[in-house]
Amino acid sequence: MNTLSSARSVAIYVGPVRSSRSASVLAHEQAKSSITEEHKTYDEIPRPNKFKFMRAFMPGGEFQNASITEYTSAMRKRYGDIYVMPGMFGRKDWVTTFNTKDIEMVFRNEGIWPRRDGLDSIVYFREHVRPDVYGEVQGLVASQNEAWGKLRSAINPIFMQPRGLRMYYEPLSNINNEFIERIKEIRDPKTLEVPEDFTDEISRLVFESLGLVAFDRQMGLIRKNRDNSDALTLFQTSRDIFRLTFKLDIQPSMWKIISTPTYRKMKRTLNDSLNVAQKMLKENQDALEKRRQAGEKINSNSMLERLMEIDPKVAVIMSLDILFAGVDATATLLSAVLLCLSKHPDKQAKLREELLSIMPTKDSLLNEENMKDMPYLRAVIKETLRYYPNGLGTMRTCQNDVILSGYRVPKGTTVLLGSNVLMKEATYYPRPDEFLPERWLRDPETGKKMQVSPFTFLPFGFGPRMCIGKRVVDLEMETTVAKLIRNFHVEFNRDASRPFKTMFVMEPAITFPFKFTDIEQ
């Protein structure tokens, strides 16, 4: 069955997603007309020797344990703002660029169905190992071209409109209350510090919140049901997939030639998560059916039910993608916000002042209305995304021939866009090493906002293929940070000179035993 055109599915718009077709055609024509023989050829782009590059990732090699930001920065120093990372073992060359004009050029020419390759091991699993489940619906992270366009058009209204999120304020508040109880339970009564493995607690909180969106239920992993085995499988697998895809798809790997232990682990991990997700969503469907049969009129309009309306298969795939794409990135962002506020107590006090005016009591409920009045909270989160960039940037496969830094780059080339690295450069952000949420607010004297090059602040990507979870992240981060800072004064009394490393996305490199002191009022 073609799941997306089945009779019960919502009307699906087959066309450009958000961006205008004519704008993209125009950009393509402009890009084409400006390519001349005077431009340097693709082969002239600086690059390391393929075998030397491969050896650098082997035991004893320079990049053996390097994060993606470490090895791309080392290469940038050696080759400049644009270079080729040679392909190997069935993976194509990737051009990497740190030039804002190139980044803009690639995005402006991304076409109506922007293509982001790079997760080949997941694509392979979905296409060849479990076609029985995925069939024509590969999910947003893995599909391309028209198949991606159809799916994204169907799902966009569910994720990108604020009204879709309204119903989550109350259950999210319950989850945050549970997290606060958990902090009080586990912190040392004398030092008020939480245990070293607190990042696991943060991940459980984020998993619980995203699980609410993905599976319409609270799994209980924070306190009530910490050993829930299905939930633990989903929790663990969604985190493992990221690490495995880094090893298989970003670092040189031979899995396309021979079945490596890492690929076999990936296959088991993907199968395990799929089995649990299918089981859970079947339980949801059965429970709904029972209520329907009992004469209940069901109109919860949750995100999951709206996905089910499109197709139950889309719901399974999307639920898994929410956890895979969302848990680690959001959990690390929350650790980073707490760290920034701990290391900058003046900013924390300023934020609390704002919170006290909106939340007179510690259990004041947050809603769409009062959340609008929290500009400093939003500035703190935005500045954390700049201060601790989550990864290098994103990728696009060029849909047209383009000129990047004066070189002719042919259609079909994959380009790694290193925009996140630019967020720490003084050329674009004055005083880049200072944590200054104020840079995102209007200057009280001039009334002006900082001018930022739009192609240097893209933590959620760009254009029709940008992160579909951005609004969910905003909701989750804003409600949780507000609740925590309203309840506790947070400190971190350890060295935090290198707190994160970026393998595929950023992850903690140290433990985070924060100190949580209750706020009196």
Query: With respect to ligand HEM, which residue has the nearer C-beta, 85 or 303?
Result: 303
- 394 contributes a contact to ligand HEM by CB under 6 A: yes
- Contact window for ligand HEM (CB under 6 A) among 59-67, 317-325, 346-354, 431-439: 317-325
- Site residues for ligand HEM, window 145-174 (CB under 6 A)? 152
d(CA 410, CA 291): 56
The count of residues interacting with ligand HEM (CB under 6 A) is 25
Min separation Cβ 382 and ligand HEM, Å: 11
Give the distance, in angstroms, between the CA of residue 423 and the centroid of all CA atoms in the same chain.
17
Query: With respect to ligand HEM, which residue has the nearer C-beta, 57 or 460?
Result: 460
Query: With respect to ligand HEM, which residue has the nearer C-beta, 263 or 462?
Result: 462
Query: With respect to ligand HEM, which residue has the nearer C-beta, 158 or 510?
Result: 158
Amino acid at 59: P
- Asked whether the beta carbons of 462 and 107 are under 8 A apart, the reply is yes
- 330 contributes a contact to ligand HEM by CB under 6 A: yes
SS3 94: strand
- 481 contributes a contact to ligand HEM by CB under 6 A: no
Look up tokens 């290193």; give the residue: 418
SS3 320: helix
Radius of gyration of the chain (CA): 23
- Site residues for ligand HEM, window 199-258 (CB under 6 A)? 210
SS3 515: strand
- Site residues for ligand HEM, window 346-365 (CB under 6 A)? none
Min separation Cβ 322 and ligand HEM, Å: 4
- Contact window for ligand HEM (CB under 6 A) among 44-52, 96-104, 323-331, 496-504: 323-331
Min separation Cβ 78 and ligand HEM, Å: 26
First-to-last alpha carbon distance for the chain, in angstroms, is 59
d(CA 332, CA 360): 29
User: Of 141, 169, 160, which Cα lies nearest the Cα of 471?
Assistant: 160
- Contact window for ligand HEM (CB under 6 A) among 305-313, 324-332, 338-346, 406-414: 324-332
d(CA 146, CA 3): 14
Query: With respect to ligand HEM, which residue has the nearer C-beta, 326 or 513?
Result: 326
- Taking CB under 6 A as the rule, which mask of x and - marks residues 374-393 in contact with ligand HEM? ----------------x---
- 366 contributes a contact to ligand HEM by CB under 6 A: no
Whether residue 467 is annotated as binding a ligand: the answer is: yes
Buried b (16+ CB within 10 A) or exposed e, 57-86: beeeeebeebbbbebbbebbeebebbbbbb
User: Of 142, 391, 427, 397, which Cα lies nearest the Cα of 246?
Assistant: 391
Min separation Cβ 290 and ligand HEM, Å: 28
- Asked whether the beta carbons of 205 and 196 are under 8 A apart, the reply is no
Q: Which two tokens stand for residue 221?
A: 């992993």
Query: With respect to ligand HEM, which residue has the nearer C-beta, 213 or 409?
Result: 213
Amino acid at 263: Y
d(CA 271, CA 267): 6
Query: With respect to ligand HEM, which residue has the nearer C-beta, 364 or 453?
Result: 453
- Asked whether the beta carbons of 422 and 428 are under 8 A apart, the reply is yes
Query: What's the DSSP call for residue 434?
Result: S
Of 329, 339, 355, 403, which lies in the binding site for ligand HEM, with binding defined by CB under 6 A?
A: 329
- Taking CB under 6 A as the rule, which mask of x and - marks residues 433-472 in contact with ligand HEM? --------------------------xxxx--xxxxx--x
- Contact window for ligand HEM (CB under 6 A) among 37-45, 222-230, 329-337, 344-352: 329-337
SS3 96: strand
H or E segment at 341?
helix 312-343
Min separation Cβ 394 and ligand HEM, Å: 3
Of 473, 484, 485, 510, which lies in the binding site for ligand HEM, with binding defined by CB under 6 A?
A: 473
CA angle 328, 329, 333 (to 5 degrees): 115
- 325 contributes a contact to ligand HEM by CB under 6 A: yes
Residues that bind ligand HEM (CB under 6 A): 116, 140-141, 152, 210, 321-322, 325-326, 329-330, 333, 390, 394, 459-462, 465-469, 472-473
Q: Which residues are annotated as a binding site?
A: 467
Q: Which residues are annotated as a binding site for heme?
A: 467
